[in-house]
Amino acid sequence: LYDWQFYDGLTIDPCLPEKWNGFKAKRIFRGKTLAISVDNSAGVEKGVKEIIINNEKITGIKIPIEKINDTNVVKVIMG
């Protein structure tokens, strides 16, 4: 039994100490590279204000699979 909601994209929903300003990570997802930077200037522990992939803002916290190229730059702004 499969839950198909996990096959249509990559969910990004960080949870971190409020004192962290953010972090950077590299993620390989289905053979594609994502350079992810998380901005926590708001000083929150959880909550995504916006996600931008390859200079395009998406709705929600799941990057649709069709938006993911071979190499990607992802900015996550918490708030």
Gap between the Cα atoms of 78 and 49, Å rounded: 5
Contact in structure between 52 and 58 (CB atoms under 8 Å): yes
pLDDT tens-place string over residues 32-56:
999 999 999 999 999 999 999 999 9
pLDDT digits (tens, 9 = 90+) for 1-24: 455 555 789 999 999 998 999 999
Q: Which of 62, 64, 5, 74 is nearest to 33 (CA)?
A: 74
CB-based contacts of 31, cutoff 8 Å, min separation 6: none
Provide the whole-model pTM.
Answer: 0.89
- Between strands 9-11 and 32-39, the pairing is unpaired
